[in-house]
Amino acid sequence: MKQRLQQRLQELKAEFESGQKVLTELDDKRTNVQNTLLRIQGAIQVLEEELAKVNEDETSVLSNELDTEALTANNGVNPETFEVSS
């Protein structure tokens, strides 16, 4: 009886140690995934900011082009050369 109990105790200790090892590995993987997600989130933020700048620049260029067209159409003056069209 004593030998069976000691054997079972050793089996449970081995299982416990194995479980702790798996848990440690999972914790390490979780940490790695969290770090990867943080890097991805940072990259997303940078790209979104860059796209916002590009959109602002495109809007500004388009607005200037529209202003130029409006001045030319309304006044008959080319604002780039200040020549009056006939």
Domain range annotation of the chain: 2-76
71 vs 60: CA distance, rounded Å: 16
Residue-wise pLDDT for 5-61, tens only, equals 999 999 999 999 999 999 999 999 999 999 999 999 999 999 999 999 998 877 877
67 vs 60: CA distance, rounded Å: 10
Query: Rounded to whole angstroms, what are the CA distances from 2 to 12, 16, 21, 32, 65?
Result: 15, 21, 29, 45, 93
What does pTM read for this prediction? 0.57
pLDDT at 71: 58
Q: Tell me if 56 sits within 8 A of 68, measured CB to CB.
A: no
Strand partners of residue 77: 84
Mean pLDDT, range 72-83, rounded to an integer: 59
Query: In which element (H, E) is residue 60 found?
Result: helix 2-75
Tokens of 59: 């809007």
Q: Which of 62, 54, 59 is nearest to 70 (CA)?
A: 62
